[in-house]
């Protein structure tokens, strides 16, 4: 168990350091200078695809917000994915008086992947922006994304920077830290290595030629964003991360909803890892090896983490617990102290980097981030352990992957969309007493967690005080081996950090020289004609041509994902 215990604590420690270094390099090289949207040499047409299922409360406001985008050449295609509420009626009503909106109605709920395929079929745009119906796309986001496409013929997709909109609950504020200190930092670090694990499904723009090359989205996976990311990169299409392309999203505010969302994410990762195992074993896929290895090491960590906790509980509760499986403590000496400080540093760096995209900054949310390591580790570990057998069992057993989106506070989205003075009849308000009581309880519990964190790092505090000649809590420092033990571990960690920094910097420079300056695909990707789209979808070219000028289209899918048009007008 000693090796497992060592792995459980050292893996998050070194990954946190790697993410901080990688995101710092990315920020200095790519983000720090430009703040205003770029002027493009051309403005090709973009189709904004909006899959929606039972979104009657917000779809009208969502379409209105998208129509105010500052990009000069775009259309909006709303795909009604078998909604059972008034979503279809509202879309039909809006489309009649909206010149840029077209509506595709799917007669059944086929899932997001098939909805996106339908939207791609009926649009003639070269670039396809995919966004959820309950998300808000920044008005200048398309400029930042298109800069990558126009300057890089190999770029197949660009993913943006999701920002949390609903911030009234503790769980939502914790996820602010997650999107900055985990998701954002991971994408920045992976981009330095040249490959991303996944685009953000809520905020991603694709090149039609790249989608056609890989066969579009897969309908059987529960996370179409992970699947399409791996398909594109295995075919040597580049995926870029653009943190200045902002999208405001709603996150789950209940543990049950968060669990279902993260379980689906974890299951999608398992399905992709199984589906593309053979492709990963080939030499031509070597640039994806780092992503694949990082994923499986993360899965292994989740099992090791739960095994360590189970062995610790067994050691405490059962005197006859096997000696080889005993774990006497979950506080690993100076390593635990360094890990606690590193996690706080990671959140500080992540919030600082992303604070440039917030009017009031993000460091004020650092107070609530103390919750995240515990919640993130527990939920990640449990969902991964459940998702591995579930994903393996359901792999290729589902024809159309559908799911129910987690419950979110639509109030926050509606208040954001609707300016003052307008009708807010469907905005749900809470009683002030309920709001204040909840916030007070969250504040008190968070203060308790900070107290536990301070207790956890008291050996380091006592060491610093001892060096200053103040002898407080000295017994805490002595019980962990004193300053010599701390100095020894610090020297080892410093050496490891130096090696990581050197290798990462060398890789970034080599990657830039090998793949950045010497563009291997200098020819513009071929245009995907109506004939090619018709062949890919199993239709006649004349049908595709006619669909691209229709305002309202209804269809369903037959065998092998072949669309069958019911009516078009």
User: CA-to-CA distance for 476 and 445, rounded, in angstroms?
Assistant: 25
Which conformational region is residue 473 in: left (phi greater than 0), alpha (psi within -120 to 50 degrees), or beta? Answer: left
Among the ranges 203-207, 317-321, 349-353, 529-533, which has the highest mean pLDDT value?
203-207
Q: What is the pLDDT of residue 427?
A: 42
- The 8-class DSSP code of residue 360 comes to S
Cα angle for residues 425, 430, 434 (degrees, 5° grid) = 170
Helix axes 170-178, 333-354, angle to 10 degrees: 90
For the stretch 454-474, pLDDT in tens is: 777 777 777 777 777 776 666
Instruction: Look at residue 563 and tell me whether its pLDDT is greater than 60.
Output: yes
What's 413-459 look like in SS3?
HHHHHCCCCCCCCCCCCCCHHHHHHHHHHHHHHHHHHHHHHHHHCHH
Q: What would you report as the CA-atom Rg of the chain, rounded to the nearest whole angstrom? A: 25
User: CA-to-CA distance for 353 and 362, rounded, in angstroms?
Assistant: 9
Q: How many residues belong to the chain?
A: 569
> 88-101 burial, b if ≥16 CB within 10 A, otherwise e?
bebbeebbeebeeb
Look at residues 409, 407, 349, 346 and name the one whose alpha carbon lies nearest to residue 372. Answer: 346
Helix axes 482-511, 2-26, angle to 10 degrees: 50
Q: How far is CA 401 from the centre of its chain?
A: 19
| Largest CA-CA distance found in the chain, in angstroms, rounded | 85
Q: Domain map of the chain by residue range?
A: 1-40+134-204+216-528, 45-125+529-569
Question: What sign does the CA torsion over 277, 281, 282, 285 have?
Answer: positive
Q: Is 155 helix (H, G, I), strand (E, B) or coil?
A: strand
Q: Of the given ranges (65-74, 314-323, 326-335, 377-386), which has the lowest mean pLDDT?
A: 326-335
Model pTM? 0.86
For the stretch 153-179, pLDDT in tens is: 899 999 999 988 887 788 888 888 788
User: CA-to-CA distance for 413 and 421, rounded, in angstroms?
Assistant: 16
For the stretch 260-287, pLDDT in tens is: 889 999 999 999 999 999 999 899 888 8
| Of residues 189 and 449, more confidently modeled | 189
For the stretch 21-44, pLDDT in tens is: 889 888 988 887 767 888 899 999
**Helix or strand holding residue 294 (H, E):** helix 289-317
């Amino acid at each position: 168990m000693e090796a497992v215990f060592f792995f459980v604590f050292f893996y998050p420690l070194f990954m946190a350091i790697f993410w901080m270094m990688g995101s710092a390099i990315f920020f200095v090289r790519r983000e720090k200078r430009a703040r205003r949207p770029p002027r493009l040499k051309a403005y090709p047409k973009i189709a904004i695809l909006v899959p929606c299922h039972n979104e009657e409360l917000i779809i009208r406001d969502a379409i209105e917000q998208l129509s105010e985008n500052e990009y000069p050449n775009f259309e909006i295609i709303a795909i009604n994915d078998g909604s059972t509420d008034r979503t279809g009626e509202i879309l039909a009503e809006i489309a009649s008086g909206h010149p840029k909106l077209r509506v595709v109605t799917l007669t059944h709920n086929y899932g997001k992947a098939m909805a996106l395929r339908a939207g791609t079929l009926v649009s003639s745009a070269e670039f396809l922006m995919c966004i959820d119906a309950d998300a808000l796309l920044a008005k200048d986001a398309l400029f930042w994304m298109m800069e990558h496409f126009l300057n890089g013929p190999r770029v197949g997709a660009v993913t943006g920077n999701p920002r949390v909109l609903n911030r009234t609950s503790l769980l939502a504020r914790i996820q602010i830290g997650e999107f900055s200190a985990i998701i954002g930092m991971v994408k920045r670090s992976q981009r330095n290595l040249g490959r991303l694990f996944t685009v953000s499904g809520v905020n991603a723009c694709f090149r039609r030629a790249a989608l056609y090359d890989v066969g579009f989205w897969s309908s059987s996976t529960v996370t179409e964003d992970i699947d399409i990311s791996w398909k594109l990169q295995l075919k040597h299409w580049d995926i870029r991360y653009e943190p200045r392309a902002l999208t405001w999203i709603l996150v789950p505010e209940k543990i049950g909803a968060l669990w279902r969302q993260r379980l689906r994410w974890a299951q999608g990762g398992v399905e992709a890892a199984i589906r593309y195992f053979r492709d990963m074993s080939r030499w031509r896929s070597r640039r994806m090896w780092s992503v694949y290895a990082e994923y499986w090491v993360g899965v292994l960590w989740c099992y090791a983490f739960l095994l360590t906790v189970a062995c610790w509980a067994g050691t405490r509760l059962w005197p006859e617990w096997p000696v080889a499986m005993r774990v006497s403590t979950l506080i690993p000496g100076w390593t635990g102290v360094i890990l606690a400080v590193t996690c706080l540093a990671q959140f500080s760096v992540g919030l600082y980097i992303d604070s440039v995209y917030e009017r009031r900054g993000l460091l004020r949310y650092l107070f609530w981030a103390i919750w995240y390591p515990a919640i993130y580790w527990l939920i990640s570990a449990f969902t991964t352990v459940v998702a591995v057998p579930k994903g393996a069992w359901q792999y290729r057993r589902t024809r159309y992957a559908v799911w129910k989106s987690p419950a979110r506070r639509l109030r926050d989205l509606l208040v954001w969309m609707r300016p003052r003075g307008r009708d807010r009849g469907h905005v749900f308000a809470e009683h002030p007493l309920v709001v204040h009581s909840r916030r007070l309880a969250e504040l008190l519990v968070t203060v308790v967690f900070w107290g536990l964190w301070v207790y956890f790092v008291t050996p380091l505090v006592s060491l610093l005080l001892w060096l200053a000649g103040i002898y407080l809590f000295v017994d805490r420092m002595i019980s962990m081996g004193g300053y010599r033990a701390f100095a020894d571990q610090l020297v080892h960690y410093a050496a490891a950090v130096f090696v990581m920094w050197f290798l990462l910097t060398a890789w970034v420079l080599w990657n830039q020289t090998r793949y950045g300056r010497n563009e291997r695909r200098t020819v513009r990707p071929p245009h995907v004609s109506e004939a090619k789209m018709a062949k890919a979808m199993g239709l006649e070219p004349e049908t595709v041509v006619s669909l691209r000028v229709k305002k309202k289209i209804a269809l369903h899918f037959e065998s092998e994902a072949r669309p069958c048009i019911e009516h078009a007008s």
